[in-house]
Amino acid sequence: MTTVDLAALRRDIASLGERNARAAQRSAFDFGDNDIDRVFREGMQRGAVHEIFAEEAGDAGAATGFAIALVLRASPDQSPVLWLEEDFAAQENGFPYAPGLQNIGLDPQRLIIVRCASPQDVLKAASDSLGIRGTGAVVIAPRSNPKCLDLTASRKLLLTAQQTDVPAFLLRLGAYPSENAAVTRWLIRAAPSQSSGANAPGHPVFDATLIRNRQGMTGHWILQWESDDHVFRQIEPVSGTMVSAPSYRPPQTRKSGTRPY
């Protein structure tokens, strides 16, 4: 007759469940807004590459804000956020400014800024950072459209992100979409805010178009970022301001090297 240590078994089973719960919790994130979350039934994939484009040079602030907002949705804890950019990024679009980031909810203490001399260095640092489980999120911001950021390179990043379950956000300022392995692709424009009173600008509002989604539908939303609750909220376009349909046409399969525009 064999005796079974029931208590030990129970503990084992419980711990299995815990581990699974943790994995499930980590593997996806949402927007905190019902309408947009409906598009992602399984949630946004956490360990994946998401790409965020600024539609025009003037939308750099909005695209950066949207990227930060996604970082906060994807990893709300205190884990470090690696910000990888090229040397001249600060001159072109300004450098990530800690007090402002804090204003929209990111604790500057989490931030590690890595300045690279070349896009190759950016990708190498990205791959290293994604390979570490302790990383909260990686914001990868190479300049314009570097050659080295091709299908193979982005697929490598995606694989690493999937293995470690660390989210990667490709922040593309002054760039145009070309084929790569990103799971979602967003086109971000600034949108008029709801004045906080006395004619003052209000909370960040993004005009977000999902132009590619490997997991399902695409869409277009006007989203306000609630800096204190860290949630997106869909809002009606502010009256009196024209919000045109995105002029963007999704890129078809093209030979590499040809400009989609």
149 within 8 A of 119, measured Cβ to Cβ: yes
Binding mask of the shown chain, residues 126 to 155, with x at each position contacting another protein by CB under 8 A: --xx--xxxx--------------------
Sequence letter at residue 135: T
| Angle of CA points 18, 106, 199, to nearest 5° | 135
Binders in 201-260 for another protein, by CB under 8 A: 201-207, 225, 227-228, 241
Number of residues binding to another protein, judged by CB under 8 A: 67
Of 186, 171, 214, 158, residue with least CA distance to 82: 171
165 binds another protein (CB under 8 A): no
Q: How far is CA 23 from the centre of its chain?
A: 20
Please identify, using beta-carbon distances, which residue of 202 and 260 lies nearer to another protein. 202
Cβ count near 18 (within 10 Å) = 10
Among 198, 245, 249, 261, binds another protein (CB under 8 A): 198
How many Cα neighbours within 13 Å face the side chain of 140?
31
Residues 187, 246 contacting (CB under 8 angstroms): yes
Query: Which tokens is 70 given?
Result: 């996604």
| Among 17, 58, 76, 216, contact with another protein (rule: CB under 8 A) | 58
Point out which span in 5-13, 28-36, 111-119, 153-161 binds another protein (CB under 8 A). 111-119
Q: Which of 47, 96, 142, 167 binds another protein (CB under 8 A)?
A: 96
Q: Which residues bind another protein (CB under 8 A)?
A: 57-62, 64-66, 68-69, 79-80, 90-91, 93-104, 107-109, 111-117, 121, 124-125, 128-129, 132-135, 189-193, 195-196, 198-207, 225, 227-228, 241
